[in-house]
Amino acid sequence: ILRALARALGLSVWLAVVPGGRTYVVLAVLALLAATMSSTGRRVHWEILTPLRLAYASVISRLALVALGVDLDAYAGASFPNPLSAWLHPTAAAVASVGWCWVKAASVSKGRGRSVMIALMSISLLGWGVAVAWRHLSHGATGSDPYTYLQMALDLLNTRTALHRFELATLATELRIATWPTVPVGYNAPAGGHAASVWPAGWSLALAGAFRLGGEPLAMWLAPLCHLATAVVSGLLGAEIHRGQGSRVQWAIGGLTATLVLTSYEGMTRTLVPMADAAASLCGVAMFLALLRAVRSNRLGLNLIAGLLWGATYAVRHPQVWLGLGGILLLVTFERPWPRRLASLAFYCLGAAALALPDLAYHRNTFGSPWLPESSEWLLLALGNIPQMWGALWRDGWWRQNEWGYLWPWLAVGLVEGLRQRAHRKTWLALTVGYGSCLLFHLSYCALRMRDLTPLFPWMALLVSWGAWRLTRAVSEHGPRQLRSVLAALLALSLAARSAQTLQLATQPNVWTFGYVTAAERVGLESLSTLTPTNAVIGTGLNAGAVHLYAQRATVRPAVWSETEFATMAEALAARNRPLYVLDDGEEMASWLASYDGQIEAIAWVNIPRMGRGGQHQGASGMLYRLQH
């Protein structure tokens, strides 16, 4: 016992000299807990604490460099996967050491003890995800996508349609001026006063169900719950792929896959607002899990379920339709008599059609053709964009140290080994064709952002897990002991360096992502209803939707109109005795106000989500003005 305390508490003493030392005391206690829980009879496996040497070495290196006068802050801020930054980051080294201790403890435990340790690790990770959402979940939605999904959900619930009526759109039509500035960003130009969203309605339909069951709180929790479920299902898929190779392989690959999906910084933070990414990711990975179990059990019902999931992931995010290519490939190449293969394929396509056809009918009724998309951004798609966007993602996305930057070597090994190994080649080929097709489609979009690719993260996590297992297994069987230790340390450190920033979300005082609304900002948005009369019109920018939703006021976006068009609208509102206000909610409106030469009256400062032109958070209050007619 004393020896264990010396090792574990020694870690906390060393790490207490760096910022956040109290966190490391907790990590040291967790390491001690791993050692004691893995005990068999009277014997405690103290060697489980050996990985703590990694943290010792990191802290000693850090202290030595500080003593030599080296400025370590220059390395701490690197966004790319800098090995020195990872090594000198005390949190990464501590997390790597403690995580390694728990893995070793689970590996030496037997029977029920191993199951208990695996259950504790799983519950801890899922509990962490719940804690992040509990602490940081947005108190509303603003911007484009988050607000629009929420507004569509409310319309589906209250009016049974995904369209929303914007009263000033009809007036703009009568005045023969542009109608698009009368709707928030995220909606198409209105027709007859009603506007359709530029995004699919599938996610909003799920949000509407959550609203009906549990009101706004459940609707806001739906995205984090989908993210947690995606991690679990991804882990199950990893275990299912390697069924028959032993429980140790299944638990290792499944557990690592689930952990990587759950601790994705982009994936976790985007779920704090009601975005569709997590739901699309969940439906896609669940589709492959159902397909794999269907072909192995030869059950047509599972093919139907897989088809429904294919239709669901398409309804949530249309580019996910390309995943179906992987499903078709898996069904036609799996070793079954051809009549059975065709029957499985028919059930699969039938399930997909059951959910895709209503969406196509919505397209026909709303846009005039089932093949016309919701958004005109299809004009931004071109095969020539693929090389350019691939390079752009490497500059800002793929190379991030808190996403995949440290993991590319393991991912590359996983891709090669997955396609090389005969036992699972068909499964890995199907996954690669499905997710690879999605990736190529996304790369053809010249406005691609990293968050658009989060539904592909389960596939990438599977590749990393398989690559890590294959490489460490090969070295364990044929390499010297020293090389095994070095490789294990590199794996632990790369995984921890990637996830350390994400794990700290649970203790950070605040987090921001596009569309996020704090409690104070929600109060500020609602206060506009008391600062303005009921028939008021408020001119604003990216917050137009949030003002319309939470203040229940008609909104316009003055910066989008020409000077003449805005003057025409202002005169028409004055003739109808409707006061016109302007809310300085970011760069767009600040620029417009600077060029406006009419008379304005400052009313009050309002705590709102102030944003830049690209949606960047500016974190300042905005002034509400009244325009003098």
- The DSSP line for 594-629 is HH--S-EEEEEEE----B-TTS-B----EEEEEE--
Listed in sequence order, the residues at least 6 apart from 126 whose beta carbon sits closer than 8 Å to its beta carbon are: 228, 231, 232, 262
Predicted pLDDT of residue 8:
46
Q: What is the DSSP string of 103-145?
A: HHHHHH--THHHHHHHHHHHHHHHHHHHHHHHHH--SS--TTH
Radius of gyration of the chain (CA): 27
Phi, psi of 82 (to 5 degrees): -85, 115
Task: Give the SS3 label for residue 537.
Answer: strand
Q: What is the 3-state secondary structure (H, E, C) of 445-513?
A: ECCCCHHHHHHHHHHHHHHHHHHHHHHHHHHHHHCCHHHHHHHHHHHHHHHHHHHHHHHHHHCCCCCCC
Helix or strand run (H / E) with residue 554: strand 554-556
217: Cα separation from own chain's centroid: 19
Q: Report how far residue 269's alpha carbon sits from residue 264's, in angstroms, rounded to the nearest whole number.
A: 8
Nearest to 622 by CA among 531, 533, 512, 537: 531
Q: For residue 77, what pLDDT is reported?
A: 58
DSSP letter at 195 equals: E
> Tokens 């997590």, residue?
278
Q: What is the pLDDT of residue 402?
A: 84
Alpha carbon of residue 1 to chain centroid: 43
Give the Cα separation of 90 and 326 in Å (integer). 42
pLDDT of residue 120: 78
Which 3 state secondary structure label does DSSP give 50? coil
Residue (of 231, 287, 285) closest to 255 by Cα position: 231
Q: What is the pLDDT of residues 443-500, one digit of tens each?
A: 999 888 888 999 999 999 999 999 998 888 888 777 777 787 788 878 888 888 888 8
E-strand ranges in 173-307 read 194-195
Phi, psi (degrees; rounded to nearest 5) at 165:
-90, 125
The CA distance from 55 to 57, in Å, is 5
Torsional sign, CA 471, 472, 477, 478: positive
Question: Tokens 């807990």 correspond to what residue?
Answer: 33
| Residue stretches of the chain with pLDDT short of 70 | 1-53, 72-80, 86-88, 100, 106, 108-111, 113-114
Q: Say if residue 14 is exposed, middle or buried (CB neighbours under 10 Å; 0-12, 13-18, 19+).
A: buried
CB of 154 within 8 A of CB of 208?
A: yes
In 3D space, the residue among 544, 541, 519, 545 whose CA is nearest the CA of residue 607 turns out to be: 519
Q: Is 323 exposed, middle or buried (0-12, 13-18, 19+ CB in 10 A)?
A: buried
Give the pLDDT score at 533.
96
Pairwise CA distance, residues 498 & 340, whole Å: 44
Nearest C-alpha neighbor of 52 from the set 35, 40, 76, 66 = 35
Beta-ladder partners of 187: 197
Structure tokens given for 49:
């604490």
Q: Which stretches within 370-407 are classed as H helix? A: 385-395
Of the candidates 239, 224, 232, 261, the one whose C-alpha atom is nearest the C-alpha of residue 455 is 261
Type of residue at 48? I
pLDDT at 30: 61
Angle, CA 590 vertex, CA 589 and CA 593 arms, to 5°: 80
pLDDT (0 to 100) of residue 45: 58
pTM: 0.90
Q: What is the pLDDT of residue 3?
A: 47
The H or E element containing residue 260 is helix 247-262
